[in-house]
Amino acid sequence: MTAAFGARLAAAMTAHGPLCVGIDPHPSLLEAWGLPDDAQGLRRFALTVLEAVGGQVAAVKPQAAFFERHGSAGVAVLEEVVAAGRDTGTLVIVDAKRGDIGSTMGAYADAFLRDGSPLAGDALTVSPYLGFGSLDPAVDLALSSGRGLFVLCLTSNKEGHEVQHARTQDGTTVAALVAARAGALNAGADPMGSIGLVVGATVGDAASRTGVDLAAVNGPLLAPGVGAQGAGPHELAQVFGSARRQVLASSSRGVLVAGPSVAALRAAARQASDEAAAALS
């Protein structure tokens, strides 16, 4: 990698708009596309999405679980998708949400962030809920290799508040601790750092209620739920406030239902990107 992930993502968002298209080969989508629920159907699905949106959007985000459910053949397809995404010049965020401790976290980092690994895209989603320090192997390797991380912070699932809104003895919420640690790693980066957060676009005033200063993170904010998925200008102002310029809107099913036509997928992605840009302006 020749430049830090944060700088490369900022440039991609300027060039193509603030949209990340999820590559989520859910069984129901494979069926809707007339594809078999096997590794070959998986491959056709994922490479068709890349043909449609590669070079057209800021990033793509293959969801590792939908590939892993097909065993080694599915993981081989994920490796092919990562390489194909790189060939289109589109940033690839591998959505694997890894989180562990010690040498095990180091092994996950090696798999998804090391130069030369077939699973290493441009960034990886990770979970900090064994303690933010447990992510140190991933942080170190991401930053040294020019890659990035998206750390779960404020998610839209109904169970998320049980951990994310919990408070320490001094009254600080877990989400605020996560955001502060990411911000410290991004300090001084321009135009933004490489350690981002995952923040649902439909979490309402959760950031203000938990004391999370998203603007101070100085890193990208991966946001499921923008535009047709439910969050418009009012909701985004409430969730992200002055940090809206950092938001990378994530859309999966909203774009993928337009397939299997390449032209229809490309048009759906362009519409989603335009809606996200308008909502974030």
pLDDT in tens, 45-84: 999 999 999 999 999 999 999 999 999 999 999 999 999 9
Q: Which amino acid is at 144?
A: S
pLDDT score recorded for residue 80 = 98
Mean pLDDT of 132-146: 98
In this prediction, residues 22-35 reach a mean pLDDT of 97
DSSP 192: -
Q: How confident is the model at residue 234 (pLDDT cuts 50, 70, 90)?
A: confident
User: Cα(259)–Cα(207) distance, rounded to whole angstroms?
Assistant: 35
* C-beta separation of 251 from 20 below 8 A: yes
Structure tokens at 101: 């401790």
Average pLDDT of the residues in 194-199: 98
Give Dmax over CA atoms of the chain in angstroms.
55
Interval 199-231: pLDDT, tens: 999 999 999 999 999 999 999 999 998 765 677
| Domain limits, the chain | 5-280
Give the residue numbers annotated as catalytic, written as ranges: 97
Task: State residue 231's pLDDT score.
Answer: 78
Whether the pLDDT of residue 170 is over 90: the answer is: yes
CATH architecture designation of domain 5-280? Alpha-Beta Barrel (3.20)
Instruction: Quote the pLDDT of residue 281.
Output: 82
Tokens coding 35: 């594809």
Residue bearing the bigger pLDDT, 126 or 279: 126
pLDDT at 225: 84
Mean pLDDT computed over every residue of the chain: 95
CB 230 within 8 A of CB 201: yes
Provide the whole-model pTM: 0.97
How far is Cα 122 from Cα 209, in angstroms, rounded to an integer? 32
- In this prediction, residue 18 carries a pLDDT of 95
* Tokens coding 210: 């938990």
pLDDT at residue 279, as a whole number: 86
Indicate if the pLDDT at residue 102 is higher than 70: yes
Nearest Cα to 272, choosing from 15, 88, 53?
53
- Average pLDDT for residues 17-44, to the nearest whole number? 97
The residues pairing with 224 across neighbouring beta strands, listed in sequence order, are 250
Where does the pLDDT of residue 1 fall: very low under 50, low under 70, confident under 90, or very high at 90 and above? Answer: low
